[in-house]
Structure 1
Amino acid sequence: MTTIAVFGATGRTGIPLVKQALDQGYTVKALVRNPSKMPITHKNLQLIVGDALDVSNVQQTVHDTDGVVSCLGQNKTSDPDLQTKVTRLIVEAMKQVGIRRLVSLTGGVVGDPANDKPGFIDNLIVFIMKQMAGKGAKNELMDGISHAEVVRNSGLEWTIVRAPLLTEAPAKGSYQVGHVGTVKGIKITRADLADFMLKEFAKKKYVGKMPYVTNG
């Protein structure tokens, strides 16, 4: 039975990802600060109560797993570089125990210059975020960029999944995968995004790549 370490498990994308993973027969180890925020109970779900910025908590979560899926994001009280800091700890913990597979989520505005073909609207969205967004949004953007650099330089079997606007709508059951400017759509449901992340974790179709996923 495959065991996945999940970070950001009680977030709005993390919860559907954990549910789908358990439904598909995975064992899940999830690091959570507040276990009351996890609405799922299951014999194959192990909650590690702790702090993602604590080295020992991260190591405990990663230990005896087959890989890591990170749905980490920021909230109003987060450190401005939370995702980057935690990702560094995850990468080091994985290297220490020889775990190779890492799938990490970030925003669609985090660029992949070698493969993206952004149009006018894509560039406009990034410009607006950088110039007019509040401090929190700017922190999230810069943290996403910095975290991606950590992942790309990790030497692991990594995939960075990039998503546009996330919605709480029911899963549509289909989505497009490509790069910014090569696929249509500016939204994806969290359920569909979770589905793609789990499939990519197992199939490894986009190892060393930064796919952009939308509902079209």
Structure 2
Amino acid sequence: MNIIIFGATGKTGHELVTQSLEKGYKVTAVVRNPTKMTITHPHLTIEQGHLTNYTDVTTIVKAQPYDAVFSALGAKTPFQREPILTKATKNIIQAAAENHIDKFIHVSFIGVRKESSTLGMLYKYIAPVVMKNLIADHREKEAVLANSGLNWVAVQPPILTSGAKTGNYIHEQHINKGISSKKKLSRANLADFMIQQLQQDTYHQSAVFVTE
């Protein structure tokens, strides 16, 4: 399996790189600043590029025949719009489509769903106000992905933590408010779920809620 990871130096991206290498996959990590990539491995290739520059993105994507793309781009702050991330996501999606990559797995946020209000006070009253810009950006990126024609999965976790990979989490296409009491997810478990999607088509062209 040969995969390419965007957002590889972020906390979720780091987990994706680490766990993919542990499984024996070949990994290309696309970064803006290579000095921030602290992982070294014989199966790891580090590519530098500016994701808002389509030439950079498509040159990297077409350099190898990739089986899948992971997009784990993270916002610097939830308090303002970051159009640069939407532009980057559009470029990655376009490059993936043009180079016939089989699967696109994208990290979003459960707050994009209106029915997330059933998950408690945080998602009913606080997130729609405090995270309104973050949510707007995620909705815009998901809309682009939904219209891409790719074999995509939009993974929608709740609040992310730095906890360990336990494998103890649930995933569902529709929110069942009674199925989880924690309403949080470790980045390690998020990466574990995303990597599992390489071998599955359960959530083909759909969004999925993953939580502990």
Could you tell me the TM-score, scaled by structure 1's length? Answer: 0.87
Q: Write the letter of the residue equivalent to 1:171.
A: K
Structure 1 CA distance, aligned partners of 2:95 and 2:137? 20
Q: Deviations over 1:59-100 (max 9, x none)?
A: 133222112011111114x96123321121112111222223
CA distance in 2, matches of 1:29, 1:167: 25
Cα–Cα, structure 1 residues 32 and 126, in superposed 2: closer, same or farther, change >3 Å? farther
Q: Deviations over 1:22-46 (max 9, x none)?
A: 1101111111011121111011111
Cα contact 2:34–2:48 (8 A) shared by 1 = yes
CA drift of 1:201 comes to: 2.3
1:57-76 alignment, distance < 5 Å: 57-63=56-62, 64=64, 65-76=66-77
Give the equivalent residue in structure 2 for 1:181: 176
Equivalence for 2:162: 168
| Unpaired runs of at least 5, structure 1 | none
Q: Distance in 2 between matches of 1:151 and 1:50?
A: 21
TM-score (norm 2): 0.89
Post-superposition offset of 1:117 = 7.3
- The separation in 2 between residues aligned to 1:11 and 1:23, in whole angstroms, is 18
Contact 2:118 2:124 (C-alpha < 8 Å) held by counterparts: no
1:86 alignment counterpart: 88
Q: Which amino acid aligns with 1:143?
A: D
Aligned to 2:204: 207
Residues paired across the two proteins, number: 206
Superposition map of 1:83-122 within 5 A: 83-111=85-113, 118-119=117-118, 121=120
- Contact kept in structure 1, 2:29 and 2:44, CA below 8 Å: yes
Q: 1:171 to 1:120 in 2, by over 3 A?
A: closer
Question: Contact 2:116 / 2:124 at 8 angstroms: preserved in 1?
Answer: no
- Within a 5 Å distance, the mapping from 1:122-161 to structure 2 comes to 125-131=123-129, 133=130, 137-161=131-155
Q: Secondary structure at the match of 2:205?
A: coil
Instruction: Report the Cα distance in structure 2 between the residues aligned to 1:149 and 1:74, rounded to whole angstroms.
Output: 18
Greater than 4 Å deviation, 4+ residue runs: none
Q: Provide the identity percentage.
A: 34
CA RMSD of aligned residues (A): 2.1
Change (3 A) 1:120 1:18: closer
8 Å contact from structure 1 (residues 74, 82) kept in 2: no
Deviation per residue, 1:122-170 (Å, 9 max, x gap)? 6x62442233x1xxx3322110010000011111101000000111111
Distance 1:174 1:143 in 2: 29
Tell me the residue number matched to 2:45. 46
How many Å apart are 1:118 and its aligned residue?
Answer: 5.0
Q: Is the 8 A contact 2:110 2:116 kept in 1?
A: no
The answer as to whether partners of 2:28 and 2:47 remain within 8 angstroms in 1 is yes
Task: Mark the runs of 5 or more structure 2 residues left unpaired by the alignment.
Answer: none
